[in-house]
Amino acid sequence: MEAELRQELSSKTDSDITVEGSFLMASRDSAHGRSYEIYRKSDKKLLFKGHFTELLVDGDNIITGSKVSSTDDRAYITIGNLRSSVYYDIYNTDGIKLNSEPYFILPAEIGFGKDGLMPVLDKQGRHYYIDRHAKKTNFDLSSYKVIESFSNGLAVVRGKNEKAGYINTQGKLVIPLMYEQAYYFQGGTAMVSTSDGTYQLITPDNQVVAMFTDTLVSYPGGKDSQEASYIFLRKKDGTAIAYNQKGEVISEKKSDE
């Protein structure tokens, strides 16, 4: 079926044909930007089409980004002290747009992740989490200035005092708002920093498993990862030391190497 649809589309159009998950996409450049036609692989049904600045397949969802409508290429919408020139919509495998109103800010790593929740910001400046059906959760987020993506069951939130902590997938604050910086939980721990500049690896119950007094310079890894690699520069000699999610040294490189 997939090969037949590829051949059929290729014979009708000069579009680029790509396959992701349950979907097949025909896309090409046009005077209005990138033009897409989205098909369901299983029955070759055209689900929807349009011009999008971004398009991401995330499991059984397609997330599209569209330019804010204006004759001015620099057009944007202002939400509080934020500006966005793109709005986002979410579709399911039937090509149905799930959100009644567009979202204007999505996380840097767009997607729902294994916890099935994604933080969004709407036109009214309200931030909240939605599930894969674009249904808003009933979490009370009124105490938080910033909410971030979930990773392995926990999400960073930042209070109005600028301190960071973590909530679980029921919206409960399980690690207090006490850290200066806080990163994804990966492989059972997360890297955080305290007011005195010390970095710590903590567990989901906020127990410290390792402490670091050097300078964090690199933080590879991503949402829902089971492994982490944190690179610190040792202050006394500039040696780069990489630690894993357990706080174990996995490599060292001297500054003159």
Q: State residue 66's pLDDT score.
A: 87
**Does residue 51 fall inside a structural domain?**
no
The backbone region for 235, taken as left when phi is positive above 0, alpha when psi lies in -120 to 50, beta otherwise, is: alpha
**Does residue 1 fall inside a structural domain?**
no
* Average pLDDT for 234-248: 93
**What are 40-86's pLDDT values in tens digits?**
988 889 999 999 989 999 999 999 998 876 544 444 455 555 556 78
**What are 104-162's pLDDT values in tens digits?**
888 889 999 999 999 998 888 889 999 999 999 999 999 999 999 999 999 999 999 99
Query: Model confidence at 7, in pLDDT bands (50, 70, 90)?
Result: low
**Does residue 55 fall inside a structural domain?**
no
Contact 180, 194 (CB under 8 A): yes
* CATH classification of the domain holding 147: 2.40.10.480
Query: Model confidence at 219, in pLDDT bands (50, 70, 90)?
Result: confident
pTM of the model: 0.87
**Does residue 214 fall inside a structural domain?**
yes
Residue written as token pair 């490599």: 251
Number of domains, the chain: 1
What type of residue sits at position 182? Answer: A
Exposed e or buried b for every residue in 143-178, given b needs 16+ CB within 10 A?
ebeebbbbbbbbbbbbbeeebbbbbbeebeeebebe
Which residue segment(s) compose the domain that 185 sits in? 139-257
**Does residue 119 fall inside a structural domain?**
no
**What are 169-205's pLDDT values in tens digits?**
999 999 999 999 999 999 999 999 999 999 999 999 9
β-bridge partners, 23: 20, 40
**Does residue 46 fall inside a structural domain?**
no
**Does residue 210 fall inside a structural domain?**
yes
**Does residue 49 fall inside a structural domain?**
no
* Average pLDDT for 198-226: 93
